[in-house]
Structure 1
Amino acid sequence: MSLSPLPLDVRLMNATAGVLFAGVFLFALAALLGWAARHPAFDIRAIVVDGEVTHNNAVTLRANVAPRLRGNFFTIDLKDVRVAFEAVPWVRRAFVRREFPYRLHVTLEEFQPVALWARDDTDVDARLIDRTGVLFDANLGDVDVDALPRLWGPPQRAAEILATLGALRPVFAPLDAELVGLDLTERGQWRAELDNGGRIELGRGEAAELIERSRRFVATAPQVAARYHRSADAIEAADLRYPRAYALRLKGVTTVSAALPSRKGPAPQPQTKRNG
């Protein structure tokens, strides 16, 4: 036995009732949310911070973040909270979540400085480089900058310069000298600095080319220094930009004997040139 369809007026009444019910429900929901948005019971009363907090404390975080927070548990924008925390010195990333009914939980990830970004040791605008190659500003007094290598070059190539330093350091290890500085000039010339103050002109090229030149130099420089009764620690300067040779200057080594000053001025410091 088939059921006959409901009359049109009954169907219209049912549809109207459904619409009215949905409208009342939405209105009640909006009123409830409005009440919750204004009720002091849901004000943010606590912010739990964990993670990497070596360079920050509760006072610093409160002073930097609290004035920028707007809203309560339901209305606060977590993106704004994240941005506020990431504006604090040393904070690399912040992860924020709500904890009902009135608390925020923030996990911080700090920058890990691995190098100093400075033109020279007197650069007052020095910055720091994170392990990922990101430049950031921080209080240099919080870091032992003397223990960090110094890098310089186009800021957009900071990550590349950091990676090149990491690739070159093991190459110079046989000299019992540590690479403590690396510069990339605007013209694309690479220049390295040893911990004894020695300067190494590496020339142009990719990391692989710099490594190959450096290996040839490291393999023979101690032998050249030994001829003058010097160790590799006496390297004052070297120029590796020659195709199959390099120029080397050693501390305390000269081929000029003592004599009266020339009218043309003092003689230049001679260099030892080694064929590669």
Structure 2
Amino acid sequence: MAKRTNKSNRRKKPRKQAASRRQSQFVINDWLPSASYLKPMLMIAFLLLLSTAAVQGYRWLMRVDTLPVRHVSVSGDFKYLQPEVLQEKLASEVKGGFFSLDLEQLREELETLPWVYRVALRREWPDRLHVYFEEQTPIARWRKTALLNRYGEIFKPGLDEIQPEGLPQIVGESGREKVLIDDFIRYDQMLSETGLVLARLEEDARQDQHLVLANGMQLALGREGHDKRLVRFTRVFAQTLSTVASQIAALDLRYSNGFSIRWHEPDPQALKRGKGHV
């Protein structure tokens, strides 16, 4: 009976070892991720690696000493601006690499310079920067010290800058610049059809407008109906008044169906000379 028992025990021993191996495999399989999770995990790891490389690359490109800008060129139609002065200004302002240079900030700084209306900047690989300047176009003087461009925007040239000569003048309340520059341009076009030139537009606090022409003639327009009154004046002037324009001092156009004329006072010396010939 004992021998049978030993044989039975020997036969069962391999079964225990096989069971132990199966149990170890189960433990390892439980620890390893399944195939459905492995691919997303690898993708996440790849994306993390890629983003880290991108951040490090961006930091390198944004360094001041990476591809520094070595050449700056300037262009534009210059009448008041001096290119050599702009070059000096850019030499002190352009600090940075090809990619790290803040073009928006540089543009804003350059557009604060006198006589600069607009600036456009362009990078040129690998170490160049091109700057295009558009000058202000003065249309008229605003009050005593400032100028107005065609958009009714005020700008002031520096004291050491070139000052324009022969500009007409506009005087009015603050905040009325855009309206008055539009009025001035429109009036000047209407008057030019009769050979007259507008030299000064004044508007008081009540928005009562007064014009002074280049020949010294003054026109009272009033507060309303400006275009209608000016059209009526130019029509009559072309028909009957152009031949005696030098004798007219002022006209009041504020009447509903006409205007009044104030003539120059006769020259006393001319009167004496005239009497002497009688």
TM range, normalised to the smaller chain? 0.7 to 0.9
Aligned match of 2:110: 85
- The alignment-based identity, stated in percent, is 26
1:34 partner letter:
R
Q: Deviations over 1:48-90 (max 9, x none)?
A: 2222333223442244445444532212222112112211211
Q: Does 1:28 align with 2:28?
A: no
Picking from 15, 18, 22, the partner of 2:43 is 18
Deviation at 1:222, TM superposition (A): 2.2
Partner of 1:240: 253
1:189 aligns with 2:214: no
Q: What is the TM-score when the length of structure 2 is the normalising length?
A: 0.72
**Displacement, 1:117?**
1.6
Residue identity opposite 2:224 in structure 1: G
**Deviates most, 32-41 or 92-101:** 32-41
Cα distance between partner residues in 2 of 1:69 and 1:211: 52
Would you say the 8 A contact 1:202–1:240 is kept in 2? yes
Q: For 1:200, give the aligned amino acid.
A: L
Q: Give yes or no for the alignment of 1:117 onto 2:142.
A: yes
**Does the C-alpha gap of structure 1 residues 24 and 170 become closer, same or farther in structure 2, counting only changes over 3 Å?**
closer
In 2: Cα distance, 1:39 partner to 1:77 partner: 11
CA RMSD after TM alignment: 3.0
Contact (CA 8 Å) 1:191, 1:201: kept in 2 or not?
yes
CA gap of 1:24–1:107, structure 2 versus 1, over 3 A, is same
The runs of 5 or more residues in structure 2 that have no matched partner are 1-31, 268-278
Residues of 2 paired with 1:182 and 1:81: CA distance?
A: 37
Relative distance call for 1:172 and 1:51 in structure 2 (3 A) is: closer
When structure 1 is superposed on structure 2, of 172-181 and 238-247 the one drifting more is: 172-181
Aligned-partner Cα distance in 2 for 1:58–1:169: 33
Does structure 1 retain, via aligned residues, the 8 Å contact 2:64–2:95?
A: no
- Is the alpha carbon distance of 1:80 and 1:221 closer, same or farther for their aligned partners in structure 2, counting shifts above 3 Å? same
Q: Greater CA deviation, 134-143 or 46-55?
A: 134-143
Distance in 1 between residues matched to 2:64 and 2:222, nearest whole Å: 67
CA drift of 1:162 comes to 2.5
Give 1:164 shift.
Answer: 2.2
CA contact (8 A) 1:116 1:145 kept: no
Give the equivalent residue in structure 1 for 2:270: none
Match of 1:131 among 122, 147, 150: 150
Q: Cα gap change, 1:109/1:73 in structure 2, threshold over 3 Å: closer, same or farther?
A: same
- Gaps (5+ residues) in structure 1? 1-6, 255-276
Secondary structure of 2:152's counterpart equals coil
Letter aligned with residue 27 of structure 1: T
Mapped pair 1:200 → 2:219: yes
Could you say which structure has the higher helix fraction? 2
Cα distance in structure 1, aligned partners of 2:193 and 2:47: 79
Q: Distance in 1 between matches of 2:93 and 2:174?
A: 30
Give the TM-score normalised by structure 1.
0.72
134-143 or 212-221, larger mean C-alpha shift: 212-221
- Cα distance in 2, alignment partners of residues 127 and 31 from structure 1: 50
76 and 170 in structure 1: CA distance in 2 versus 1, 3 angstrom threshold = closer
Structure with the greater alpha carbon radius of gyration: 2
Question: Deviation at 1:192?
Answer: 0.3
Q: Hey, what does 2:131 align to over in structure 1?
A: 106
